Structure formats: C-alpha cells, structure tokens
Homo-oligomer: A and B are copies of this chain.
Amino acid sequence: MSAAQLDAVLAHVDSNLDASLERLYHLLRIKSISTDPAFAAECQRAADWIVTELNGIGFDASARPTPGHPVVVAHGPEQDGTHVLFYAHYDVQPVDPLNLWHTDPFEPELKTDSNGRKIIVARGASDDKGQMMTFIEACRAWKAATGSLPVRISLMLEGEEESGGKNLPPFMQANRDELGAADIALVCDTDMWDRQTPSVTTMLRGLVGEEIEISCANKDLHSGMFGNAARNPNQVLADIIASLRTPDGSVTLPGFYDDVAEISPELKAQWQGLGFDEAKFLGEAGLSVPAGEQDRSVLEMIWARPTCEINGIIGGYTGDGFKTVIPAKASAKISFRLVSRMDPVKIRAAFRKHVQDRIPADCSVKFTEHGGSPAITVPSDGTHLRQALEGLSGEWGKQAVITGSGGSIPVAGDFKRILDLDTLLIGFAHVDDQIHSPNEKYDLDSYHRGIRSWVRVLAAFAAQV
C-alpha cells in the first residue's frame, strides 16, 4: 500500500465525519442495557443494526444466537498477511440514577464542555459504542477510498460485557476454529494515556464477582419486639465486609497475595516516566488521599495490585422516613480485581470460606457467582505491538506508550485461554468520560482521531514484516 492510499483514506474519514457521527447516534439511540431483561429486544436490535452496517461494507456478518444476547461475528474478504480479530461490545450499563442526567441518556447530543471541547453525550457514547464504531468506520473508510480492506479483518462484537458476559467463552469455544484463525486480537474498550498520548494497554486486572445474601429470621421482625434477641443480617453483613480489608488498605483473605508478582524494575521505571499526576487523577473524583496499600504508588494500586471492592449493599428499609425493622435478609455485591497469576477459582474459594466462617448461628449465606477471569499480561516485545504503536504514534505525532489498566476485560483472558491469541488493547476514551455514570460522554476528538488511528494501525499491520 502506498502513502497516497493512506492519505486518501484519512481524507475520506475527515470529509465523512458527519455521516460517521450519524451512524454512531443511530446506535446510541438503541437502549441495549444487557443486564435488564426488559431490554433484551433492544440488544437484538443493536446486533441486527451492526450486522446490516458491516454487510454494507463488504463483511460477511451475522448475529449469532447465544443463551443470552447475540454475538455479532463478521469476516472480511480473505487475504494474505496479518489477520486481526477485533472485539468490542454493543451493550451498555443501566442509566440509573436517571435524575442526574442532564439530557436523555438515549438521545445523543453533541455539546461543548467547559473546556471548549466537543463531546458526544449518551449512555454508551464512550463505553463501548463510540469505541466500537471508531474501528467500523475505519474499515468503512478503507473500503470506500480504496475498494478493499488493508488486512484480513474479523470482528466479534459482544452484547453481554456489562452483565457478566458468561455466554461468550462457550461461544468462543464452540467457534474456536473460525475465530482462532486470526493472528492477533484487538480490543477497543480502554483509555488513551492522556489527550495527547495514545497507548496500548498490555496489563489488565482480572475479576472475581460475587454476590452474597445473608438470611437470618424467616421474616422481617419489629426491632422493638426483637431487637437484641434476633440476629440482624445488616449487622452480620457489615461485620463480614469490615473483615475483608485492614485499615492500611490491604485485603485480609488468607493467601490473597501469594500469586501477586512485583512488577519489573524496567516497567516500574517506564511507569514513573509517564508523569502520572496522582493528585489530578484523584482530584477529578473529588479525592486527595489514596485509599489502598500505603506503601504503593497510585499507578501500582490500580494497575499492579489486587483489590476488593463492595459494589453494592442493601438490606432492610431504605425508603423515605424510618421503619423499625430487623430484616430477614441483607445482601452485597463484591468484586475482587486480580493481578499477575492470581487464580480466580482460588480467590473465590478463599472468599467463600472467609464468609462462611463468619456466619453466626441461625444465619445462612447464599453465594451467586458473577464472572471470573484472570489478569493478563501481553509480552512487551512482539511485532504486532510494535506495529500498533507505530500506527498510533503516526496519528498523534507523539510516541505511543505501553500502560496497564485497573479494569478487567475478561475477553482478553479468553482470547489467550481459548483461542491462544494475544490481545492488544487500544482505545481512545478518557478518564473523565463518566462511563457507568450519569452524563457519559465521548470526546468528538476521540471519535474522529480514533477512526483515523485505526486507519493507520491497519495500514501498519499491512506492512511487510
């Protein structure tokens, strides 16, 4: 491929941005909240729309059924050279609390933020519809400007990333030959390092999600009549949660740190060179004091150290006013983020034993599993990584960096485990995108230059090596 071809594709991206935006808006209007069964038809609608779009630009695409929401699979024309498998998800988080949104979460609007930046505001604008569409629009531009795609491209687009994603691994297993034919997986669900610096994420934390429900009495009791005599599951739950972390921020489960490796001096040095501003990072969330292990930097805390977080708790009367009740049940959603070689099965077992050991007489606990995946680490000296960094650096005029991520993208682990593929995580989101929160947004610049970035990364993959 020639430099002129690349320029033509990039020019096509620029001159067709409005149409690219309209297509993103169309997808954002579809209420594909995967965790709520009431929105199942919307998830199907999102998958079907994407299939139509991909078929329209030369892919062989279909929405494949699963026991949950469909997986969109698409293959571009066969050709020699690198074969990439692109992953993103078309489902979104719920929108509550709705009253904190300034506009309808499913009616995207282009606004100007307080810094004068154009932003696209909607649920999923960043996570992950906006990110997904950067890649699809890059493919569209290649096809429109040159008549073909620069490398062989397959896509696997999931509809259950925000709701546990438990149907994807069996789907990948069942379609291992088809999907595993690729050479490298690309995932677009991560941030840039900062607004000037693109990055490839090569370390991701794993995740163990658990829900516990503590039951004591066989019915709600009057706290006057029974208070002191009857075990209160709210208290039991709080005692258990309090027992999970020490005041210095470490997690108390026996063996929790056994398989946690320290990061290499080289990587530590590179991270230090990133100029990460801890005060700014915390300050944007209204915080100033890191809450984790006190002898670690914030980057270490979130990229290289495991954690235990209480994502939800509920028990008893939680409406307006007051009700003197001792509830029959109380429950919590709890997640562990894993690093290095920590084993999700072992951590889940240690957690359940820890809880079970603390259930007092007359009480019982029910465990519900909400996903589990190990951490992943991509070798930092591979060809595909080098090509991706080259493509990104070309677009942004600045050396792209290698970073970690505190989040968990279980599919990256599944690519390795099931398909034996390494994963490069490349995304254009920003930390202030309010993902999972009210007023989620994606910078117009993320969208526009994200598309251009993929145009260049695909060109880099097409180069002879």
Contacts and interface: CB of A to CB of B under 8 A. Distances in A.
Interface of A: 35-37, 93-94, 96, 162-164, 205, 207, 209, 211, 216-232, 234-235, 237-239, 241-245, 249, 281-282, 285-293, 298, 301-302, 305, 307, 309-327, 330-333, 335, 337, 360-362, 370-371, 405-408, 431, 434-438
**This protein's copies in its complex:** 2
A291 B361 CA distance: 9
Please give me the 6 A-B residue pairs with the lowest Cβ-Cβ distance, nearest first: A224-B407, A218-B286, A242-B242, A228-B292, A238-B241, A35-B321
Contact of A310 (B229, B316, B320, B331): B316
Given A311-B324, A317-B333, 11 more contacts: A36-B321, A207-B224, A221-B437, A223-B309, A230-B287, A232-B310, A234-B313, A309-B326, A312-B317, A313-B315, A323-B436
B325 A362 contact: no
Contacts of A225: 302, 405-407, 431
A218 B316 contact: no
A36 B223 CA distance: 20
9 contacts: A94-B317, A227-B337, A228-B305, A238-B242, A239-B242, A242-B242, A288-B361, A309-B324, A309-B326
Contacts of A36: 319-321
B285 A221 contact: yes
Contacts of A249: 228
Nearest to A218: B286
A230 B282 contact: yes
B94 A362 contact: no
A228 B330 contact: no
A249 B236 CA distance: 11
Nearest to A299: B229
Contacts of A318: 312-314, 331, 333
A305 B220 CA distance: 21
Contacts of A316: 310-313, 333
Residue of A211, A320, A321 contacting most chain B CB atoms (<10 Å): A321
Nearest to A223: B309
B228 A302 contact: yes
A227 B307 contact: yes
Residue of A231, A305, A312, A370 contacting most chain B CB atoms (<10 Å): A312
Contacts of A216: 286-287
A292 B229 contact: yes
Nearest to A431: B225
Given A310-B232, A311-B326, A205 B224 contact: yes
A243 B241 CA distance: 12
Contact of A224 (B239, B242, B337): B337
B317 A311 contact: yes
Given A242-B239, A289-B361, A302-B227, A434 B219 contact: yes
A211 B405 CA distance: 37
A314 to B, nearest CB: 4
Nearest to A333: B322
A435 B222 contact: yes
Given A313-B238, A314-B313, A319 B219 contact: no
Given A239-B242, A362-B287, A307 B437 contact: no
Contacts of A290: 228-229
Contacts of A223: 307, 309, 311, 335, 337
